[in-house]
Amino acid sequence: MPHYNTMGLAKAALEASVRYLANDLGPRGIRVNGISAGPIKTLAASGIKGFSRMLAFNEANAPLRRNVTIEEVGNVAAFLLSDLASGMTGEIVHVDCGFRSVAFGLAAVGVEPGSAG
């Protein structure tokens, strides 16, 4: 993704940290999981160049044909903190209306990032 190099590195490091911390802290009964949210329309995100195009692209191509909300991401966080997720650790949960499940296939058929599909 253009202009995403530093953020991509940071996110990859965070995902690796989740796995390492889960391994190190698991014997003490401490669970470590992460959430990878899709693009969310926020005031901070409005400062990202081309963000409105990213939102439109995600909405047009995600299986649920919409963007995820802050509340939906919060609900997943509440689940991960609850006893309902007591058997989960070292996982990255993607909350993106299914976009991750199709993203790589879009490039294979020539859909350009930043287009609406």
Residue among 59, 37, 55, 57 nearest 46 (CA): 55
11 is catalytic: yes
20 is catalytic: no
20's CB contacts (< 8 A; 6+ apart) are none
Give the chain's length. 117
- The residue from 11, 20, 41, 49 that is catalytic is 11
Q: How far is CA 78 from the centre of its chain?
A: 16
> Helix, strand, or coil here: 116?
coil
* Residues with catalytic roles: 4, 11
